[in-house]
Each structure stands twice: as structure tokens, then as C-alpha cells.
């Protein structure tokens, strides 16, 4: 005897589609038998891991028969020290994706809603749907978040609101004055998530730039999320974190799975957090790559959305499905963003100089 196991799943889960990740290099190698492949599809750090990380992982590997520290004491202490917050304000996650899900699971249930923007990071709708919550999507303004529209969209049943800053896949940012004005308008019973996955790439010289952690003191309903996957180069190890009030942190720890961050990841995160040189080098490579790619797009007559992250959304005249396939045949993996209501864009991560050149050459050839 069998039954419809999809219909048997929770209501919200039935409406989900699995997350589509950037195509792995090995998959394209299997499919096309190409030797040299450039992957600019998942906003990874093109430098590879910090040497300090490899040493820390090696050392931690000797202890993998033991469970990790479920509370991540040492990493939290290091983060608290660096950020000027209390360890009781930090929740560690298996990537910040995990933290975003913990937040949603803690605050969304059937009959509740969450607000996010058109073109915003896809994990928000997935997490809301998994909890059978209602999504309220506001129209974007110049590809970015329209904070006034978001404040106006808050309904009686709204518990949560997501802002990605910089946003993925558009690379847009909100300025500090607009964000503060917005936070002043949001009722205290609506939890605001400020997703700062690309925080480390934002030019600190930019006076208008937002540091969510500095705003926590004034807004007890604010949660800031950050990650070690992007600028810190630990995407495969899965470490992210939330910074919030001790009360919200207590809530998140109630839904957090025990041992959600493994011991090698904890050790690696601690090692790279202390490696300022690695971070600075990555920022410089990113700034140079941004210049190289945008100049290359200019030369090709392509428009793009100005980005504060380590990626750029480039616009084409038509739907990019075919172009994406043509680039794959040239050994270049980028990211189609049709699922973000951006069918004519491709999101391109900024790579090393030679990788960026490979992308520009491939584009020139196939266009
Ligand atoms: C990449 C990304 C994340 C999450 O990455 P993790 O690897 O799960 O830490 C979160 N938010 C945005 C906007 C991202 O682009």
C-alpha cells in the first residue's frame, strides 16, 4: 500500500520547489568533458581559503570523533570581541542560511506574514513558505529595496521583515539615513532581519554605508545576519551568525539544532576572523575585478546594476537562458536569475583577473 506522499507533506512544504544552486564545476566537467572551467556563479571568494584556515582545519580534524562545542563558545567570544557585543547576542548557524531559517521558524506560522522585496534573496520566500506563512512582496525601486513601500506593506499579521544589504542578486544597498528612518517607522512587534552577507565588501569610505551592528542598541527588534561564506572564504564549511538582543538570541537558540556548526568550521571561522590580511587582500581583488568587469561590460555595450557586493547583475537584450547555455559550452558558469523576476540578467561573481578575462572573452565570442 502506498499513498501520495507529496500531498501528505505539510501544506507549506507542498508549495516549495528545491533551491537551485550554482552549477558545480564537476557537473559541467561530467556533462561536457571540458578541462578548464571558470565558475563565477555562487559569489565565492576567488582567493581560495586563507592558509591559516587550512592549518586550523587540519588541527581540528584530529578531534572529529568528538561532538563539537554546541555553544561555539570560543568563536562567539571572538566575534563578540570583534563586534563589541555580548556573546549572549550571537547565534551561530550552519551558514547564515541556517540562521535565516531559525528566525523564520521561530516567528512565522500559519496565519502570520513576512515582508520582503521583489528581487530579494530567494531564501526568504523559501523559509516563509516552509513555515506556511504568507509572503508580502513589495515592488523594487531601481532594482533595490523600496523601504517606504516595505513599511507601508506591514499588515496586522506581520511578524517578520527581511532586508538584504547589499542585496543578492542585484548588489543594491540602502543608505543609512533611509534605513534609520524606516526602522523608526516599523512597530516594535515586527522583527526586522538585516541580512549583511556581503558586509565586508562594502566600501567603508562610503559615508552612507550601513553597519547593522551599530544600530542594534537603538532597535531591539533588529536581527543582523552575517556569514563566513563570502569575504571570509569558507563557503563549503557552512558558518554564519546572527547578532540580536539577548531575548531574540534566546528564542533562536531554542529552535537551533544541537551541534549545528561542526568543529572544523568553528576552528576555521576563528582562524580567518583573526586573518585581517586575507580579508584586505580579498577586498582589493574584488575592487580590481569590479573595475575590470564593469569596464569590460562597458566595452561590450552591456548595462549592469551598480553593485556593492562581489558580483554584478548584467543586463542583456533578451531572455538569458540560451546565453547561459552558450557560456557553459565555453567553460564559464554564471548564474541565471529568471527566478528573481530578472529573465534578461545574468549574475556574475567577481573572480581573479584571469577568470574575469575568460568571462569577457566568452561573452565577446557568443554575443
Ligand atoms: C550567500 C548569501 C547568504 C547565505 O550564505 P551562507 O553560505 O548560508 O552563509 C545569505 N544572504 C545572502 C543575501 C546571500 O547572498
CATH code, 258: 3.40.640.10
Q: Is 75 in the pocket of ligand 1 (CB under 6 A)?
A: no
Q: Do 43 and 55 reside in the same domain of the chain?
A: no
If asked whether residues 237 and 123 sit together in one domain, one would say: yes
In a domain, 317, yes or no: yes
In a domain, 155, yes or no: yes
Q: Is residue 240 part of a domain?
A: yes
DSSP state letter for 171: -
91 lines ligand 1 (CB under 6 A): no
Q: Is 120 in the pocket of ligand 1 (CB under 6 A)?
A: no
Whether residues 101 and 250 share a domain: the answer is: yes
Beta bridge partners of 161: 115, 192
Residue numbers of the chain with a pLDDT score lower than 70: 204-206
* Ligand 1 pocket test target in 227, 265, 312 with most atoms within 8 Å of CB: 227
> What's 62's DSSP letter?
T
- Ligand 1 centroid from CA 36, angstroms: 27
Q: Of 274, 293, 325, which residue is a domain's last?
A: 274
Determine contact, residues 158/269, Cβ cutoff 8 Å. Answer: no
Kindly state whether residues 39 and 118 are assigned to the same domain: no
Do 145 and 68 belong to one domain? yes
Q: Is 270 in the pocket of ligand 1 (CB under 6 A)?
A: no
Q: Give me 202's grid cell.
A: 562594502
Q: Evaluate the omega torsion of the peptide bond into residue 26 and state whether it is cis, within 30 degrees of 0.
A: no
Pocket test for ligand 1, best of 100, 123, 335 (most atoms within 8 A of CB): 123
Is residue 143 domain-resident? yes
Distance (angstroms) between ligand 1 centre and the Cα of 225 equals: 9
For residues 335 and 346, the answer to whether their CB atoms sit within 8 Å is: yes
Q: Which pLDDT belongs to residue 205?
A: 62
Residues 178 and 235 in one domain: yes
Task: Assess if residue 8 is contained within a domain.
Answer: no
**What is the number of other CB atoms lying within 10 angstroms of the CB of residue 115?**
28
Residue 16 lies in a domain: no
Q: Are residues 224 and 329 in the same domain?
A: no
Q: Residue 44 sits in which domain range?
A: 21-48+277-366
Boundary of a domain, candidates 274, 293, 319: 274
Residue 58 belongs to a domain: yes
Place of cell 529568471: 338
Domain match, 281 and 359 both? yes
Which triple of cell numbers denotes residue 366? Answer: 557568443
Output the pTM of the full model.
Answer: 0.96
Query: Does the beta carbon of 227 sit less than 6 angstroms from any atom of ligand 1?
Result: yes
Sheet of 311-315: strands edge to edge? 303-305, 311-315, 345-349, 335-336
Residue 311: per-residue pLDDT: 98
326 and 193, same domain (yes or no): no
Asked if residue 7 belongs to a domain, the reply is no
Q: What is the pLDDT of residue 194?
A: 98
> Can you read off the three cell numbers belonging to residue 192?
526586522
Looking at the structure, tell me whether residues 28 and 160 fall in a common domain. no
Q: How many residues does the chain have?
A: 367
- Contact yes or no for 145/172 (Cβ under 8 A): yes
The enclosing H or E element of 353 equals helix 353-366
- The enclosing domain of 295 has a CATH number of 3.90.1150.10
Q: Which of 274, 307, 325 finishes a domain? A: 274
Residue 20 has a pLDDT of 80
Strand, coil or helix: what is 313? strand
Q: Do residue 107 and residue 184 come from a single domain? A: yes
* Count: domains in the chain: 2
Q: Is the bond preceding residue 166 a cis peptide, omega within 30 degrees? A: yes
**Same domain assignment for residues 187 and 130:** yes
Amino acid at each position: 500500500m502506498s499513498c501520495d506522499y507529496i500531498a501528505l507533506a505539510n501544506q507549506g512544504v507542498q508549495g516549495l520547489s528545491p533551491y537551485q544552486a550554482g552549477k558545480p564545476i564537476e557537473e559541467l566537467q561530467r556533462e561536457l568533458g571540458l578541462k578548464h572551467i571558470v565558475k563565477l556563479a555562487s559569489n565565492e571568494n576567488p582567493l581560495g581559503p586563507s592558509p591559516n584556515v587550512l592549518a586550523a582545519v587540519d588541527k581540528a580534524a584530529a578531534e572529529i570523533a568528538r561532538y563539537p562545542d554546541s555553544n561555539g563558545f570560543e568563536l562567539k567570544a571572538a566575534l563578540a570581541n570583534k563586534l563589541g557585543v555580548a556573546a549572549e547576542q550571537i547565534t551561530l548557524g550552519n551558514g547564515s542560511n541556517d540562521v535565516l531559517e531559525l528566525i523564520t521558524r521561530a516567528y512565522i506560522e500559519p496565519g502570520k506574514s513576512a515582508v520582503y522585496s521583489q528581487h530579494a534573496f530567494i531564501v526568504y520566500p523559501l523559509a516563509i513558505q516552509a513555515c506556511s506563512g504568507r509572503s508580502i512582496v513589495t515592488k523594487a525601486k531601481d532594482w533595490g529595496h523600496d523601504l517606504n513601500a516595505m513599511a507601508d506593506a506591514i499588515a496586522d499579521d506581520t511578524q517578520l521583515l527581511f532586508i538584504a544589504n547589499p542585496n543578492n542578486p542585484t548588489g543594491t544597498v540602502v543608505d543609512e539615513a533611509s534605513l534609520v528612518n524606516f526602522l523608526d517607522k516599523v512597530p516594535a512587534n515586527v522583527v526586522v532581519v538585516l541580512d549583511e552577507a556581503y558586509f565586508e565588501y562594502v566600501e567603508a569610505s562610503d559615508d552612507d554605508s550601513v553597519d547593522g551592528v551599530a544600530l542594534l542598541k537603538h532597535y531591539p527588534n533588529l536581527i543582523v545576519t552575517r556569514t563566513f561564506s563570502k569575504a571570509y572564504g569558507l563557503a563549503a564549511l557552512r558558518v554564519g551568525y546572527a547578532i540580536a538582543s539577548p531575548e531574540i538570541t534566546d528564542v533562536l537558540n531554542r529552535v537551533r539544532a544541537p551541534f549545528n556548526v561542526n568543529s572544523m568550521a568553528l576552528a576555521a571561522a576563528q582562524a580567518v576572523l583573526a586573518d585581517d590580511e586575507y580579508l584586505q587582500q580579498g577586498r582589493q581583488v574584488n575592487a580590481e575585478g569590479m573595475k575590470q568587469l564593469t569596464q569590460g561590460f562597458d566595452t561590450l555595450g552591456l548595462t549592469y546594476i551598480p553593485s556593492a557586493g562581489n558580483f554584478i547583475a548584467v543586463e542583456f537584450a533578451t531572455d538569458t537562458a540560451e546565453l547561459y547555455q552558450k557560456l557553459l559550452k565555453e567553460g564559464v558558469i554564471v548564474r541565471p536569475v529568471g527566478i528573481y523576476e530578472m529573465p534578461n540578467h545574468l549574475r556574475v561573481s567577481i573572480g581573479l583577473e584571469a577568470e574575469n578575462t575568460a568571462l569577457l572573452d566568452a561573452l565577446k565570442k557568443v554575443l
